Amino acid sequence: MEISVALRRTKGFYEAVCALNTLQTNVSVLDQVRRERSELPELQLQAMQGFLHRTGLTVVKLDHLNIIHVTGTKGKGSTCAFTERILRDYGFRTGFYSSPHLVQVRERIRINGQPISKELFTKYFWEVFAQLDATKDSHGVSMPAYFRFLTILAFHVFLQERVDLAVIEVGIGGAYDCTNIIRKPWVCGISSLGIDHTSILGDTIEEIAWQKAGIFKPGVPVFTVKQPDRSMTVLQDRAKEIGCPLLVCPDLEQYESGPGPLSLGLAGQQQRCNASLALQLSKTWLQRYRQSDDQLAAPVVENRLVSQATAFKPSPIMVKGLEATEWPGRTQTLRHGPVTYYLDGAHTTGSMQACVHWFSQEIQQEESSNRGPVIRVLLFNATGERDSAAMLKLLEPCRFDFAVFCPNITETITENNADQQNFNVSVENMLTRCLDNQISWQSLSGTETKQGSESELLIKDRLPLLAKTRTHTLVFPCILSALQWITQGRDAVLATAGSPYLPVQPSVTVKAEPLREAAQVSVLVTGSLHLVGGALKYLDPSLAS
């Protein structure tokens, strides 16, 4: 279209990201959108079909992407990362769509494991945006919301770039998620189920399992990790209703791995079930690829709808793929001189339990090799309807010396972080949530509030933002200011990030003396993937380049 050509000539990557941000749901109408989604959820997929048609795509074209569709409450992104890496190592050209992004929005759409380039993102963004913008009036509707648009963009990119397969991670739920426009995936997967997004998916594990099972398709094999009995019953009923084989993955230890256990590129005990799921998804996809189109895609044990998947001996390529998998922000460790960061985007009680187990093991090993005092710091934030108090209760036994809270704002100059802007919640609400988290932590740890300890953190020539300092706890207005205070200039990577040090009150500086004198500072960043992504923007500059 001519309008598309004109837009591509005049607008670049930064303008594309800014235009994309206009599709975020404004705070004032977000509640209305949630109500509509809960009242008429089936209309969501009808609307998605309309948006898809306006861009020139059809569900029939999506059939050519040879899709692996994965849902779950926790571990679905890691499962996708394992699966994509294995199949890429087999020599296939892979597409991988995931959410959310950590630093740059183009991370959500990957070709051969790498985020698409700024040039490709810009090119394909304006092609899709222009077609939707040009047809919105004639259809009597507006532009698609943020996640819908990115899903359409991912499909467009994968088709244009002629990938051999696409690994698609569900956004929220499954049944009415916009990725469920897919008609004929080659295989589906379900990672561990738990309670999350209750305002959309329901308050019980049975309701959530029903939603997740919405991605089942007739005749398409589904693999699941072991689930609680109530969840598994729902999955079995849905598989029977829809008419698809459901197979339960074996423990990773059951696979024939040679002289030693399988080694994983992602740390944490919880990754072992994700790796088993990835092995089953990869093997089934490869079987389908090697068969003619009219053959069944996966083995069905004893011709039953629910079966135990068979453990097998992974090929050398599979073993290498599992070991080489990288998935930043999930059980990730970064060592910067005397400061070690432990980053995990855990944001449910289930995933936080796994995070605490991983962190406890890592910190014990780290401290045993250190000579001198070690200071433990928690950097935490949680968003939405997540139960912050429950997650903090799980973290309390880790014996942190400092608990630091901040919103998911990278820095107070918004024009420097277009990729990480969030219009779905106000700054005031974000800061209030941080202060509530601080109070919860003080209650859990038995910390007494000192009289007159409240202070105001003023950042020169910018908005006055609140920071309340109490014994062992602090609240900062942004991620950068929190990291700068925690590290006290001892992290060379952070010191060279190019951002000025944000001044704090003298009393807050005095409080940091143990951080300056410790032999080692260990920082756990958790509670939100957006928080982890904001931290990685400064701690791993390659992600922001």
- And the tokens for 422? 């969030």
Number of H helices, E strands in the chain: 21, 17
The answer to whether residues 373 and 519 touch, using CB atoms and an 8 Å cutoff, is: yes
Could you tell me which residues are beta bridge partners of residue 522?
340, 376
The answer to whether residues 376 and 400 touch, using CB atoms and an 8 Å cutoff, is: yes
State the Cα–Cα distance between residues 117 and 390, nearest whole angstrom. 40
Q: What phi and psi, each to the nearest 5 degrees, are found at residue 336?
A: -120, 85
Consecutive H or E run containing 471: none
Q: Are strands 67-71 and 165-169 parallel, antiparallel or unpaired?
A: parallel
Angstrom CA distances, 319 to 5, 266, 270, 323, 366, stand at: 45, 13, 18, 6, 28
Q: Which long-range contacts (CB under 8 A, 24 or more apart) does 105-113 make?
A: 105/17, 105/20, 105/150, 105/419, 107/543, 108/150, 108/154, 109/150, 109/153, 109/154, 109/157, 110/84, 111/157, 111/161, 111/163, 112/88, 113/84, 113/85, 113/88
The answer to whether residues 179 and 62 touch, using CB atoms and an 8 Å cutoff, is: no
State the Cα–Cα distance between residues 309 and 533, nearest whole angstrom. 35
Could you tell me which residues are beta bridge partners of residue 457?
465
The answer to whether residues 394 and 352 touch, using CB atoms and an 8 Å cutoff, is: yes
Q: Is 344 annotated as a binding residue?
A: yes
Phi-psi region of 291 (alpha: psi -120 to 50; beta: other; left: phi over 0): beta
The answer to whether residues 359 and 399 touch, using CB atoms and an 8 Å cutoff, is: no
* The residue type at 117: S
Q: Which long-range contacts (CB under 8 A, 24 or more apart) does 255-260 make?
A: 255/279, 255/311, 255/312, 255/313, 255/314, 256/311, 256/312, 256/313, 256/314, 257/313, 257/314, 257/319, 258/319
State the Cα–Cα distance between residues 147 and 333, nearest whole angstrom. 29
* The residue type at 476: F
Q: Is 530 annotated as a binding residue?
A: no
- Helix ranges (H only) for 386-464 are 388-395, 427-445
Q: Is 540 annotated as a binding residue?
A: no
- And the tokens for 408? 């998911």
Q: By C-alpha distance, which of 237, 193, 52 is closest to 44?
A: 52
Q: How many angstroms from the chain centroid is the CA of residue 423?
A: 18
Q: What is the DSSP letter of 407?
A: -
Q: Is 197 annotated as a binding residue?
A: yes
Q: Is 411 annotated as a binding residue?
A: no
State the Cα–Cα distance between residues 316 and 332, nearest whole angstrom. 25
State the Cα–Cα distance between residues 516 and 504, nearest whole angstrom. 16
Binding-site residue set: 99, 169, 197, 330, 344
Binding residues for Mg(2+): 99, 169, 197
Known binding-site residue numbers for ATP: 330, 344
